[in-house]
Structure 1
């Protein structure tokens, strides 16, 4: 069984220029997913009906590319991140007749059947806050995007396994509280539990907060010259044996894909 967590960066391909990206190439994205060949795929920064990604449903694109049997997209906001947006998904339900024109969130995809899905809303701790910009020597007030987690109970060759995918805020204190909340919710599920995703934290902090065991320790960000591990795969309880793990640079994203192969 191969498990992959990958911050998709909306399917964009990084260039040598800081903060710049090439236009989204859906064929390039499909090729990247096929190359990874995951049985279970956790994605973050996933677009649906965004103009920058050709109004495609990137979760559907990835599901088709890997041959997923089941998948789920959980939008955390309606609109465009970094521009005009409002709450969406598990934080603000929309009816089919009033579906937002564009959404953004996380997704979990599986070649194995899913017994149950659970959505865990992690609203922004602070709707707005001030950050210091040293270059300008002034504070800037910004809005923090809402966050969420997806949990799936999978029927795998190893038996039932719960897998949770999340993308936490980059604000240190808020990110810790969000990870604590995910861990609390997962405490209601039986072992084994895999917690994966982009935690926006590094070092021993994820292990210390959750009490889970890390299964892959590799630098994943930034993709060009990885300096820190922001993406993680953690295990609670006894799970299948890990035979290999690695961080792989793909043709898309500013993160490396974190891959774990189980016996």
Structure 2
């Protein structure tokens, strides 16, 4: 299965061009099975009042669920998960936030090789805020049966306290760790890695890929995974 995590910046490219259709066109080239998106807009004046969740679902031809983290009435922005396979259950989690509300979207997806749970999140801009968000999200993850994935823009580098805390309190592996880790921000001249795909031991990483797109201020994370039969899984940390 191919998983993509991408902060789309509301369709505003780092080259100054605004186009959510360009985002969809790029993503279609990847032929992903599950796509986790951050900074998706819905009816915002700054993005021409476009209904980006609906438009992305139509142009990707995928099932898509949108979590509005910040908004009023019918407008807002937040996270989205798109899937080629049936989505059986959706949960929207709020994370402790400061100036801007943040959240985590959870979807239970029925894949051809069995059900998995996918979380998609976008953390805040302040270090103390991200530590609180890591702790809260870890509590949700610890209550989630294997297998599951965590995707998102964590606004923090891999050696940060918040990311370290998240991995320490869960059994997650960094899908990019075994390959050559690549920076994801800013897209035009990437300097830091702040976008991730994490997985439980039930998955084996087959490959990772990096593409250079200017359709957002971030670059996507692209990972191919295989689901491992439970009897062959080696767990780390505390016993399940």
Q: Which TM-score tier does this pair reach, normalised by the shorter chain?
A: 0.7 to 0.9
Residue in 2 that maps onto 1:32: 26
Q: 4+ residue stretches of structure 1 with deviation over 6 A? A: none
Q: Following superposition of structure 1 onto structure 2, how do residues 138-217 of structure 1 map, counting pairs within 5 Å?
A: 144-205=99-160, 206-211=163-168, 212-216=172-176, 217=181
One of 219, 222, 225 as aligned partner of 2:183: 219
Cα drift, residue 197 of structure 1: 0.2
Residue of structure 1 equivalent to 2:12 = 12
Can you list the C-alpha shifts for 1:213-253, whole angstroms capped at 9, x where unaligned? 100232101111111110011112312x2211123222410
Equivalent-residue separation in structure 2 for 1:26 and 1:167 (angstroms)? 19
* Unaligned runs of at least 5 residues, structure 2: 227-240
- Structure 1 position 262 matched with structure 2 position 225: yes
Deviation at 1:208, TM superposition (A): 4.4
Q: In structure 1, how many angstroms separate the alpha carbons of the residues matched to 2:103 and 2:127?
A: 16
Provide, for residues 90-139 of structure 1, a one-character-per-residue CA deviation record: whole Å limited to 9, x for no partner.
xxxxxxxxx33x21111111111112111111141x4xxxxxxxxxxxxx
In structure 2, relative to structure 1, the CA distance for the partners of 1:253 and 1:112 (3 Å cut) is same
The corresponding residue for 2:50 is 56
Three-state SS of the structure 2 residue aligned to 1:229 is coil
2:40 equivalent to 1:46 = yes
Q: Deviations over 1:63-99 (max 9, x none)?
A: 222221x221111112xxxxxxxxx5xxxxxxxxxx3
> Aligned to 2:94, which of 108, 121, 139?
121
Unaligned runs of 5+ in 1: 16-20, 79-87, 89-98, 127-143
Show the 5 A alignment for 1:53-132. 53-68=47-62, 70-78=63-71, 99-100=73-74, 102-124=75-97, 126=98
CA contact (8 A) 1:6 1:258 kept: yes
Matched residue count:
217
Partners of 2:49 and 2:30 in 1: CA distance: 24
Q: Which has the larger radius of gyration?
A: 1
Q: Could you say which residue in structure 2 is the equivalent of 1:2?
A: 2
Question: How far is the alpha carbon of 1:3 from its aligned partner?
Answer: 0.4
Cα pair 1:245 1:259 within 8 Å, conserved? yes
For residue 169 of structure 1, report the CA deviation from its aligned partner: 0.4
- Alpha-carbon shift at residue 210 of structure 1 (Å): 2.5
* TM-score (norm. length: structure 1): 0.77
Secondary structure, aligned partner of 1:32? helix
